[in-house]
Structure 1
Amino acid sequence: MQGLSSVAGSYDIVILTNGPGEVAAWVKPVVKALRRGFGEDREKLRISVVLSPCPHASQQEAALVRSFPEVDRCQEARHFTSLLVWGQTAEGWDWRKNGVSLFLGGDQFNALVLGWRLGYKTVLYAEEAVRWAWLADAYFLRNASLLTGVPSFAQKRCEIVGDLFVDAVSEDRKASFGETVAAANLNTPKQSFNTSRERQADVERSSAGSNESTNGAANLDLETAVPGTRDFSTEDADRIRSHSEAGTREQLKGHFTVGILPGSKPAKLGLGVPYFLAAVDRIRAESPDVRFVLPLAPTVSLEELAAQACPDRNPNIHQFGWTSANLALLASSHSSRFTPDPSGAPVAILTTPGGARVEVYHHFPAYDVFRECDVCLTTIGTNTAELGSLAVPMIVVLPTHSLEVFRGATGGIGGLLANLPGPVGDVAARVVNGALLKSAGFIAWPNRWAKEAVVPELVGRIEPNEVAAVVLDHMRNPAKLQSMKERLRSLNQGLAGEAASGEGAAERIAQHIKDLLEPRGQKPLLNG
């Protein structure tokens, strides 16, 4: 264990998290709230983020975390085991005497172990289940229903704070668009922030690390890496870019807009990109005036998107007869070693063999693009919560054509077998994932929150043409979309009512952490 600092009034907060959704929707609003609560003095409060292994991670989570100016240092997931077992970080971090271990994604028990190892208070945020209430110093709950099953003696450690997904969306509403994009740019130094030497070193490492690719493609010239990519003509660039200015809905009256959200994790992208493109081609064949937009996740590069749409790089296209596409960079796009475009305009176009054009956006968060959509085609994940919080109608699709690509969805013997290489692992993964789907219930976050079908879920060996038919049915029946939007708004209002004052979960978490470190008098945490 590295040395402990005993400077009075100085604290460490170490946040345990894992995947891109947790980083974007949980960590981001919480670190902002912590800085608002404790101030910018890094000698008083130092925020460290530790990534834990996640089978669905994009390997770009560390770069995303390092883009947050509130965070002082970040350790990548590959070093997690050494920290948990031996208390050693890859860079020999020191630790202050007083602090908090905060769980915001991954395995809740790991946050407890990390806190005990460091001698820190342990604080956990629970979205679905409270597992260790009798061991944690404080448990922050998304809603009151999570108290069910918590022993009465442990309920005093629980606080109903609200939904961090709502906070992630509301942060974007409050911030100016330029500030939001600047804070998310993975490779642009934040000159306006007075960061510590540790953070500056992290940013430099992040920039250097962005030159490396975990899949061997992210750092290549697009035309070399992916056949069929090209620069877009100035004429087409101007036409598309004109649609991205303020007042898009006014300019595109009569253009039904469909959002495409294939996910951020490699396994999802490999299936989702060609699958959704096949649905896009079918929709366009029936209704040529439909507009398609694809807000690319911040941890996914244009090169990765182009590769997943290329039949020479993605075997699922030939295997299942789905659709490919050529990715064309807009003329004004900066280098092919891509970083989110701060203009908020489309950065590329995907063109399918059927002639459909999909505008690709790469700023984060892309809630402005979400709001332009009449309906979104999306896979499962954090994006369903974000769309739900924005009351954007959605059709959630989980094709089961290749269940063996999804590994690590469960633990125990089944999880170990599913992670074995070769045919044995493939068979085990199909069996385990099939069993999980049968017992999972609802898969979209709005449906899970409401415990009923608020948005359509299409699960199984469903073909893209069937998905297209559902989209077209909703397009031709606006009352269905309006009803879905109203139900999502009503659900949001109900969820907000379960917390003390609606949105503000991150602020409540920050305040309770401050009370743990700087107690103002003992009181039970549980609301009312």
Structure 2
Amino acid sequence: MSNDPLAIIFVSNGPGELATWVQPLAKELHKQIELRPKSNSSLRSLNLVLVPCPNATGNENLFAQKESQFENIVKAKNFWEMLLKPKKFGTWPSKGLVIFLGGDQFWSVLLSARLGYLHMTYAEWVARWPFWNNRIVAMSESIVKKLPRRMQNRCSVIGDLTADLTETAKIDNPLPSGKWVALMPGSKSAKLKIGIPFFLDVADKISKSMPDCKFLIPIAPTTNIDEIKYFGSIKNPISKQYKTGIKSITKANNKERRAKLITNHSTVILLQEKHPAYSDLSQCDIALTTVGANTAELGSLKIPMIVVVPTQHLLVMEAWDGLVGLIARLPILKYFLGLLISFVKLRKRGFMAWPNISAKRMIVPERIGHITTAQIAEETIDWLNSPSRLSGQKKDLQALRGVTGAAKNFCKEIINLLKEKELIS
């Protein structure tokens, strides 16, 4: 390979993208190219730049640091300053490659232009700036067809990066026997404020009707047990609207590898702090989840799900994506525009869960609106008591799942581009 210094920069945003796209690709790329920090002798480095995003939690850099995959990690709050003064955040060689892996595609365009680097985009649904890309790697053939004809030769179909999750879903610590419900309240405060008390109340109601049912919360990498405890307490104003709460939390130890939460109604919920929690999730019969990248993860793992967004809470507007979510966070405007935003968003929302978006039809139930915990508990019980329905949804999710190997295909495209531009030999 060439001895010229080279920097590869991943650009991403939120916890879902980091878990399902960034980390698996980084792991595979380190296998195929000698890159710092995994290789001390290499002149080439792998770096991560986080970009502003309403879906981010602010803790993404901490999650990214755990695997020691990146030489430099630039926080989202420093993105604009890096564009102005890149040398403040690292020693960037004259040659490099910026790869879009989440967020607004324009941010990676800006960064590649500022550094004078090559640019590559992973397109899940559409490549928005094709003429600014040296290469586009696409999840499916439909993305290629959307491109201008003269740009289609720059695009290769590599498959679904999320589909590779199934290869890591080996059961290494079996859950006790029984019917299991995974509760996925979200990864950022706006969702946790609502999701924790809502799902705890749902669990209490299911447990009352099905005492043998068991529950699991896989804790998102950007949150922790202390936040779960906080949002389940009376300090969270939404908790006061539900007849539930947290009686105790026992942390994991050498004997018990999962923490244990007990509600005020004595419902036991296991907490998995290890991430990714695919081993535990793959053993669950059904998941109750908010919208987001988690629906793509569950779909890839073929876990039946019910998507839940209780819009009766004003704070739910803060969890919407994009400009709507930004407006809803403004203290003065959110109380005046909150209800209007939700009304318009819900009327024109289309599908919100990844499997439904991908299939362009309703595969997993989306319960969005003024919904109650009793309704969700009853529907969950109906699903648990109907193995044929669960099996049917699993088959639908299996049919949507892309062929595994996307990360390896992606790395081949990266290497081919670098060789084509004579950045490596």
- TM-score relative to the length of structure 2: 0.92
Q: Structure 1 segments of 4 or more deviating over 6 A?
A: none
Q: What is the aligned partner in structure 2 of residue 306 from structure 1?
A: 229
Change (3 A) 1:408 1:299: closer
CA deviation digits over 1:288-325, x for unaligned, max 9?
A: 111111111122111000001111x110011x335212
Residue of structure 2 equivalent to 1:332? 253
1:364 has 2:268 as partner: no
CA–CA distance in 1 between the matches of 2:305 and 2:327?
A: 34
Matched with 1:224 is none
Gaps of 5+ in 1: 1-6, 178-244, 334-342, 497-501, 522-528
Among 29, 33, 49, the residue aligned to 2:28: 33
Selected match of 1:488 from 397, 405, 416: 397
Superposed CA deviations along residues 412-469 of structure 1, whole A, max 9, x for unmatched, are 6x666434322x2333344334323322211111111111111111111100100001
Change (3 A) 1:407 1:148: farther
SS in 1 for 2:130: coil
- Alignment-derived partner of residue 479 in structure 1: 388
Q: Verify the 8 A CA contact 1:48 1:72 in the aligned structure 2.
A: yes
Q: Aligned pair 1:261/2:184, yes or no?
A: yes
Question: What is the CA distance between 1:139 and its match in structure 2?
Answer: 1.3
- What is the SS of the residue equivalent to 1:398? strand
**Residue number in structure 2 paired with 1:12:** 7
- How big is the alpha-carbon RMSD for the aligned residues of Structure 1 and Structure 2? 2.3
Give the Å deviation of 1:353. 2.4
In the alignment, structure 1 residue 102 sits paired with structure 2 residue 23: no
CA contact (8 A) 2:126 2:146 kept: no
Q: Is the 8 A contact 1:141 1:158 kept in 2?
A: yes
The verdict on how the C-alpha distance between 1:14 and 1:469 changes in structure 2, with shifts beyond 3 A counting, is same
Is the aligned partner of 1:289 residue 2:251?
A: no
Q: Is the 8 A contact 2:14 2:56 kept in 1?
A: yes
Is 1:437 the counterpart of 2:358? The answer is: no
- d(CA) in 2 for partners of 1:153 and 1:330? 57
Going from structure 1 to structure 2, the CA distance change for 1:476 and 1:408 (only over 3 Å counts) comes to closer
Alignment of 1:338-417 (within 5 A): 345-347=257-259, 349-407=260-318, 409=320, 417=327
Deviations 1:453-500 (A, max 9, x none): 1111111110010000101111222211111112212222xxx3xxxx
1:68 aligns with 67
Equivalent in 359, 367, 377 of residue 458 of structure 1: 367
Does the CA contact (< 8 Å) of 1:378 and 1:396 recur in 2? yes
1:23 and 2:22 matched: no
What is the deviation of 1:382?
1.4
Q: Does the residue aligned with 1:153 lie in a helix, a strand or coil?
A: helix
Q: Which residue of 1 aligns with 2:413?
A: 512
Deviations 1:141-179 (A, max 9, x none): 111112343211111121111111112442x248x96xx
SS in 1 for 2:111: helix
Tell me the distance in 1 between the aligned counterparts of 2:306 and 2:14. Answer: 23
Q: Give the partner amino acid of 1:301.
A: N
Distance (Å, rounded) in 1 between the aligned partners of 2:193 and 2:319:
17
Q: How many equivalent residue pairs?
A: 417
Give the structure 2 partner of residue 88 of structure 1. 86
1:260: how far off? 0.8
Counterpart CA distance in 1 for 2:227 and 2:304 is 27
CA separation of 1:332 and 1:8: change in aligned 2, threshold 3 A: closer
State the 1:88 CA deviation.
3.0
State the match for 1:156 in structure 2: 153
Amino acid at match of 2:157: I
Task: Name the amino acid aligned to 2:195.
Answer: G
Contact 1:258 1:375 in 2 (8 A): yes
Contact 2:165 2:300 in 1 (8 A): no
Partner of 2:55: 56
Counterparts of 2:252 and 2:414, CA distance in 1: 48
Cα distance change of structure 1 residues 461 and 351 upon mapping to structure 2, 3 Å threshold? same
| Residue identity in the other structure for 1:345 | R
Deviation at 1:136? 1.2
Following the alignment from structure 2 to structure 1, what is the Cα–Cα distance between the partners of residues 220 and 322?
Answer: 27
2:123–2:138 Cα contact (<8 Å) kept: yes
Query: Are the equivalent residues in 2 in contact too, given 1:87–1:117 (CA < 8 A)?
Result: no
Q: 1:95 to 1:408 in 2, by over 3 A?
A: farther
- Equivalents in 2 of 1:24, 1:416: separation in Å? 24
1:257–1:372 CA contact under 8 A, matched in 2: yes
Gaps of at least 5 residues in structure 2 are none
The aligned residue for residue 195 of structure 2 is: 272
Instruction: Specify whether residues 445 and 410 from structure 1 end up closer, same or farther in structure 2 by C-alpha distance, changes over 3 A only.
Output: closer
**Alpha-carbon deviation of 1:363?**
0.4
CA distance in 1, matches of 2:242, 2:199: 12
Aligned AA (1:323): T
TM-score, with structure 1 as normaliser: 0.74
C-alpha deviations, 1:20-41, integer Å up to 9, x for none?
A: 1111111001111211121354
Task: Quote the offset at 1:331 in angstroms.
Answer: 7.0
What's the counterpart of residue 78 of structure 1? 77
CA displacement at 1:519 relative to structure 2: 1.8
State the Cα distance separating 1:405 from its structure 2 match: 4.5
Q: Equivalents in 1 of 2:155, 2:379: separation in Å?
A: 42
Q: CA deviation at 1:272?
A: 0.3
Aligned equivalents of 1:28 and 1:326: distance in 2? 36
* AA in 2 matched with 1:440: R
Q: Distance in 2 between matches of 1:123 and 1:464?
A: 44
In 2, Cα distance between equivalents of 1:277 and 1:71: 37
Cα distance, 1:344 vs structure 2: 8.3
Residue in 2 aligned with 1:217?
A: none
CA distance in 1, matches of 2:137, 2:369: 35
Alpha-carbon deviations, 1:69-115, whole Å to 9, x = none? 3211101111111112x1336x4411111110111111101101100
CA distance in 2, matches of 1:81, 1:419: 21
Work out the CA distance in 2 between the residues paired with 1:328 and 1:8. Answer: 54
